[in-house]
Amino acid sequence: MRVVLAEDLFLLRDGLVRLLEAHDFEIAAAVESGPELSRALAELDPDVAVVDVRLPPTHTDEGLQCALEARRRRPGLPVLVLSQHVEQLYARELLADGSGAVGYLLKDRVFDAEQFVDAVRRVAAGGTAMDPQVIQQLLARKSADDRPLARLTPREREVLEEMAQGRSNAAIAGKLVVTERAIAKHTANIFAKLGLEVSDDDNRRVLAVLAHLDHGR
């Protein structure tokens, strides 16, 4: 699996290269600026891009904008964005086309090798990998009088957070140490209470949940 990596901090970039190569990824390019990223994405046609939001020369959102432009040229290009802080606007921009194959992780997650590599693989496969803190903030910013969310039980909210991170029923069941049948019941209740169409497609249901949480912003 070929990866284009963009990170301006040398030590972190070098560490990510070593980590990904240790898990059988091929690094097609490891760059440090927006212009280099744009060229690499246009010329190398990677399987997935792992991109820092803030890159030279602007150090604003150049990495994200390069990735979004690449997705416009190649719809569905898998992109995993790394950020120092939770920026819900960036998450929304990534999810805007509804096609999946996107991820948004805080850089802290990079230090959990298993979690990071799993996120890269999930995004490369067309799935969605959203940072738990993004999901928690979307939930928290929904006001208490948002009736559909208010109707969820504590367990259903817990399952919703896991679902919105891109986990399947089987994975959620394993993490919460319950049966998959119990999770299936919770997810059915969640979709019914939120007024969403039930789907067995993990990515489609993640996007539906995130679209609901972000509705009206």
Q: Give yes or no: residues 141 and 53 share one domain.
A: no
Tell which of 96, 130, 164 closes a domain.
Answer: 130
Q: Helices in the chain by DSSP H: which ranges?
A: 10-22, 34-44, 62-73, 88-95, 113-124, 132-141, 147-150, 154-164, 169-176, 180-194, 202-213
* Position 213 pLDDT exceeds 90: no
169-208 per-position pLDDT tens digit = 999 999 999 999 999 999 999 888 888 887 777 777 887 7
CA distance to 61, 137, 146, 182, 216, per residue, from 142 (Å): 26, 9, 7, 26, 10
Helix (H) or strand (E) holding 130: strand 128-130
* Position 216 pLDDT exceeds 50: no
The Cα–Cα gap between 23 and 28 comes to: 15
Q: Give yes or no: residues 124 and 152 share one domain.
A: no
Q: Give yes or no: residues 123 and 167 share one domain.
A: no
pLDDT of residue 217: 46
Q: What is the CATH number of the domain that holds 203?
A: 1.10.10.10
Residues 6+ apart with CB under 8 A from 15: 110
Number of domains in the chain: 2
42-97 per-position pLDDT tens digit = 999 999 999 999 999 999 999 999 999 999 999 999 999 999 988 877 877 888 87
Which residue segment(s) compose the domain that 120 sits in? 2-130
Q: Give yes or no: residues 126 and 208 share one domain.
A: no
Cα distance between the two ends of the chain: 36
115-174 per-position pLDDT tens digit = 899 999 999 999 888 888 888 777 776 545 567 777 889 999 899 888 888 888 999 999
Q: Give yes or no: residues 67 and 139 share one domain.
A: no
Q: Are 80 and 129 in contact (CB under 8 A)?
A: yes
pTM of the model: 0.82
Tell which of 79, 112, 130 closes a domain.
Answer: 130
Beta carbons within 10 angstroms of residue 121's beta carbon: 17
Tell which of 130, 157, 190 closes a domain.
Answer: 130
CA distance to 60, 88, 126, 197, 210, per residue, from 204 (Å): 30, 20, 10, 10, 10
Rounded to an integer, the average pLDDT of 93-105 is 84
Strand, helix or coil at 205? helix
Describe the crossing of helices 180-194 and 154-164 by its angle, rounded to 10 degrees: 90
pLDDT of residue 10: 96
Q: Give yes or no: residues 18 and 97 share one domain.
A: yes
Q: Give yes or no: residues 66 and 92 share one domain.
A: yes
7 vs 212, residue with greater confidence: 7
10-45 per-position pLDDT tens digit = 999 999 999 999 999 999 999 999 999 999 999 999
Q: Give yes or no: residues 117 and 201 share one domain.
A: no
Q: Give yes or no: residues 111 and 158 share one domain.
A: no
